[in-house]
Chains A and B, each alone.
Chain A
């Protein structure tokens, strides 16, 4: 698309302008002036990204039951502010070759993952998931295939994809969950060759296989792709999250791998069991880090 409409779309909430502006700010704004800049940008997006704000408030109503709408609006502001910091840290890491301090919760599982011959990293829109793949690839010198939902705006997606590849110093390859059956075969083949595939398993985007599970006592739709893939390739799923703890400080949370075995029962039953375990882990992490759950669509 070209013309004035396409030009104006750059400035939409999910437009590429804001990503480009962030890159500009990382280069031009001294680090000590970034906190006020992020605070005011959060105010701006809190009002203008109304759909996102409403989705966060709706999710918080389930995650934090008993809270008033007003309190959850403040929490939504905090969530957007955390998101601003997360993408700023990722951009700093990309553009200034910056470092982040990380501590690990579940180091034994991360070591297992680093040496695994074929594994699925099952993650969510929690904390700095974009930075996580890059850090992992850099630390362990392994390539990682990252499956994600594409951004609504094409130019934003292109910018994000290039950023992810720069963060991963070339060791992160981005695929899209919407690519369909061809991608499934490609990923299956990669897993059988011993590669690591990272998939986000907390949000349905586009026409993907899904199942109903329960979290926080409410029904929730979970994509079944990662579980079917794990079952077919007979590889474990490692729940992994990277949460922000402060200025350029992160915690990598790795939980016990979910092993999907062919039990001889119906395949759906095996998948349901794995999904239930994933939901239990996801619920635990979201409870502890609700302010960093950046699933900006209604989850329940």
Chain B
């Protein structure tokens, strides 16, 4: 029994898994809350941000000093995002007042900022010689695939589609 009927676990939020689902099953729904989608992107964003800041510092620390610095940087990455989300919420409010944004929900507008900034960080990481460049490249590939999937979804005939 469910209270109330829930679409959770029957669809995806991001375009790439939705496209794959549509190819496999003929239909796809846009819903929030799939387990992998809930946890993986957030961890990936924090990781890219952390690596970007770590790379910026270009520190020679090793051992416990590196661990301490890493912990501080992880916290710094989190605080950075708190500030970025807040500043962006102000920008969104202004854009709404100026009727630049009308129907886009706040969290989707924030999503554009989060993914945009992370992509800039990933692009910067991908240019380096460190092992962290693989994380940057992986993010860029994921973004490219997701955007391609979004385009394909937009042009595939909408029969049997139940986008929510």
Which of these binds chain A: B31-39, B60-68, B121-129, B155-163?
A: B31-39
Q: Per-residue 0/1 for A100-139: is the Cβ within 8 Å of any B Cβ (1 yes, 0 no)?
A: 1111100100000000000000000000000000010011
B2 with A31: CB separation less than 8 A: no
Residues of chain B from 14 to 58 with CB closer than 8 A to chain A in the complex? 32-33, 35, 37-43, 45-46
Q: Does A287 contact B (CB under 8 A)?
A: no
Chain B residues in 8 Å Cβ range of A2: none
Chain A contributes a number of interface residues (CB within 8 A of B) equal to 28
Chain B contributes a number of interface residues (CB within 8 A of A) equal to 34
Chain A residues in 8 Å Cβ range of B81: 33
Which of these binds chain A: B95-103, B104-112, B140-148?
A: B104-112
Q: How far is the CB of A103 from chain B (nearest CB, A)?
A: 7
Which of these binds chain B: A69-77, A180-188, A206-214, A243-251?
A: A243-251
Give the CA-CA distance A141 to B96 in the complex, in Å: 37
Chain A residues in 8 Å Cβ range of B149: none
Q: Per-residue 0/1 for A53-73: is the Cβ within 8 Å of any B Cβ (1 yes, 0 no)?
A: 000000000000000000000
Give the CA-CA distance A28 to B40 in the complex, in Å: 19
Chain B residues in 8 Å Cβ range of A27: 106-107
Chain B residues in 8 Å Cβ range of A100: 3, 6, 8
Give the CA-CA distance A102 to B6 in the complex, in Å: 9
Q: Does A36 contact B (CB under 8 A)?
A: yes
Query: Residue on A with the closest CB to B111?
Result: A30
A29 with B3: CB separation less than 8 A: no
The verdict on A139 contacting B4 (CB below 8 Å), with A28-B89, A32-B37, A32-B42 known, is yes
Chain B residues in 8 Å Cβ range of A36: 42-43, 45-46, 78
Give the CA-CA distance A136 to B5 in the complex, in Å: 14
Chain A residues in 8 Å Cβ range of B5: 99
Give the CA-CA distance A170 to B122 in the complex, in Å: 47
Chain A interface residues toward B at CB < 8 A = 24, 27-37, 40, 99-104, 107, 135, 138-139, 246-249, 252
Chain B interface residues toward A at CB < 8 A = 1-9, 13, 32-33, 35, 37-43, 45-46, 75, 78, 81, 85, 89, 92, 106-108, 110-111, 114
Subset of 17 A-B contacts with CB under 8 Å: A27-B106, A29-B107, A31-B38, A31-B107, A33-B45, A35-B42, A35-B43, A36-B43, A37-B42, A99-B4, A100-B6, A100-B8, A102-B2, A135-B3, A138-B3, A246-B35, A247-B38
4 A-B pairs closest in CB distance: A101-B6, A32-B41, A102-B3, A36-B42
